[in-house]
Structure 1
Amino acid sequence: MLTVLGELVVDLIPDPTADAGPEGTAPRLVARPGGNALNVAVAAGRLGHPVHLLARFGTGPLAGNLRRHAELSGVDLSRSVDSQDPVSLAVVGLAADGSADYGFHVLGAADWQWTDDELAAAWPPGSQALHVGSISSWTAPGCDAIAGLAERLHADGTALVSVDPNIRVALAEGFGNTADEVRARLDRLLVVADVVKVSAEDLAWLEPGATDLDEVAQRWADRGPGVALLTDGGAPLRVARRGRPLLQVQPPSVTIADTVGAGDSLAAGFLTGLLEDGVTTRAALDALDDERLERIAADASLVAALCCTRVGADPPTRAELDAARG
């Protein structure tokens, strides 16, 4: 069983089929469920894997849409928390190549308010992996409770810990955060991570000036995780492990609608692939041979690629993944 912990965000995505009114000042936006944790959990659920989502469901007319979106994908919400704080919103801008830019409306939102007591009560017994990341993992006050849970799981060895920084610069350098605080909070998580997924876009902020991505991927693996995944759009996925040769997996070529949710889908594909292959402990992860690891990474890349062919965070089902394998 996989457990995903983090934020729920309503993504307001431009509708390319609609005009912006006579003056061009009224673009039509479509509200789609999103957020790192929700996207990862939904992607895992659609792949048919048992998954719990630990989320704080806020108030507002779109809260029910987020809940229904998760339920339709088979995500277990029984350990989530109802909150009187508002739901997070993101206004998405899309470039010509489908890459996304985000404007956030998240002040006081439910996602950042986790407490130690909430997480102690919410953790589902028997879960074999925890995925955390993005805004909730490095935003106070809840980030301390999230890090505390990751540290406890790492110390007792009962679950793999997966971390995705998923930096959003507007929030990492504002919204009560400073760059130094965010980096320190991420360092606390990375120390106890078994799997780390980081993007070249993240690295542009985390390590300005770093250009040799092969070297960076290997260096991140040397920090302690069992596997470090470095994504770079349509370029090869770098898969690094300490003391092992760097693996590169070429993502399939697809027609891109947008890239929203692609990294989250890749993380879900990779984690479910590990668990379904019997890799449920750090010892098993360290013992995983390169051939099996490369196969799991290739499947994860295909999951992400299929998500990119559709608007918004809309990952594939298991049947769609199987069909795409050919």
Structure 2
Amino acid sequence: MSSGRPVLSVLGELIIDLLPDPVAGADLDGAAARYVARPGGNALNVAVAAGRLGVPVRLLARLGTGPMAAGLRRHVERSGVDPAGLVVAGEPVSLAVVGLGPDGSPDYGFHVLGAADWQWTDDELAAVLPAGTAVLHVGSISSWTPPGCEAIARLVERVAASGRTLVSVDPNIRPMLTGGPAGTALGNTPADVRARLDRLLSRADIVKVSAEDLAWLEPEALDDLDAAALRWAARGAALVLLTDGGSPLRVARPGRPLLHRKPPQVDVVDTVGAGDSLAAGLFAGLLGAGVTTRAQLEELPDDRLLPIVDDAALVAALNCTRAGAAPPTREELAAARR
């Protein structure tokens, strides 16, 4: 990270996604006949998508042990992501078995107990966060799973207090890990997860939240997503993006009218990594526009923000045209704009 350009730092987990191979079909019992292993996880997907868009980006992640670890590192490096934020860890890599619905939406089965992703310490984070960080993005399972979530929260609080870095939060809820037997084994209860997220959201400048997240966080909010978006913006973030699959994207800013943006229509293979790609597209646009502080984000007029949001939605749409999290390059995005 010596270019002198503002850096996007993405903090979170590395997960191997086992995706059903559509070519192999199903076995006699109706289960997928074959699975394909692909790099995944919210943080990895965001960082890779940003790297492919030409953004200076560092991934802060604990790289666990096992045969998949080397492939994860190569995936990071090939995508233009700075690997200096990878902490070599003794715990195993996380694994997610993915099922796909008729519309391409994913369902997850997680194998993550004792994994490397949840073990962050203050010293580890201090050692890998680059000084030139303009945007710090956190979220998903690592941000609300102990013990590492406490170190992440303290880092977010320090960064937010400095006033020099935009903080972005994506709850990215995985209900089976927020409670029940799996959640309990990880140290999560629904009340704990909500409290940990509230701590992060109270310091966030940018929030990306999905209707699926709201279905768990605030089920009643689904009755009026417009009101929910405005309410979330009133909590303190300068910008809230509320996604709802292929339905219009809601853009909420404190004290401003709610805006809707229709995402591009594409032939969907699956939606794995779509929200992560959208977030990366947003960060690429903001950094490209020179927006690196809270004040600059608040002053950004809608007529400059909306083209950035539309580009981010296009990045997400292009990701959905391919299997797994496979975001476009900067050149592919430019071609799609034309």
| Class of the TM-score when normalised by the shorter of the 2 chains | over 0.9
Q: TM-score, normalised by structure 2?
A: 0.95
For 1:137 and 1:276, how far apart are their aligned partners in 2? 27
Q: 1:43: which partner in 2?
A: 49
In structure 2, which of residues 163, 169, 188 is the aligned counterpart of residue 157 of structure 1? Answer: 163
Unpaired stretches in structure 2, ≥5 consecutive residues: 1-6
Which residue number corresponds to residue 204 of structure 1?
Answer: 215
**Cα deviation, residue 206, structure 1:** 0.2
Q: Distance in 1 between matches of 2:70 and 2:107?
A: 25
2:233 to 221, 234, 241: 221
Distance 1:79 1:168 in 2: 25
Q: 1:195 aligns with which of 206, 209, 213?
A: 206
- Structure 1 runs of 4+ with >3 Å offset: 19-26
Q: Give the count of matched residue pairs.
A: 326
What is the distance in 2 between the residues matched to 1:287 and 1:57? 38
Q: Which amino acid aligns with 2:255?
A: G
* CA spacing shift, 1:91–1:280, aligned 2, 3 Å: same
How far residue 271 of structure 1 moved from its aligned partner, in angstroms, is 1.1
- What TM-score does the superposition give when structure 1 sets the normalisation length? 0.98
Equivalent runs, 1:1-326 vs 2, <5 Å: 1-21=7-27, 24=30, 27-173=33-179, 174=183, 175-210=186-221, 211-326=223-338
- The 1-side partners of 2:234 and 2:91 are apart by 40
Note the C-alpha offset of 1:46.
0.2
1:21 CA drift (Å): 4.1
Cα separation, partners in 2 of 1:25 and 1:192, compared to 1, 3 Å: closer
| CA offset digits 1:239-268 (Å, max 9, x no partner) | 100000111111000000000000000001
Q: CA deviation at 1:20?
A: 3.7
Query: CA offset at residue 26 of structure 1?
Result: 6.2
| Seq. identity, % | 70
Letter in 2 for 1:286: E
User: What is the CA distance between 1:209 and its match in structure 2?
Assistant: 1.9
CA distance in 2, matches of 1:313, 1:127: 25
Bigger mean CA offset, 18-27 vs 37-46:
18-27
The C-alpha deviation readout for 1:123-148, integer Å capped at 9, x for no partner, is: 11111110000000000000011111
Contact 2:21 2:32 in 1 (8 A): no
SS in 2 for 1:128: strand
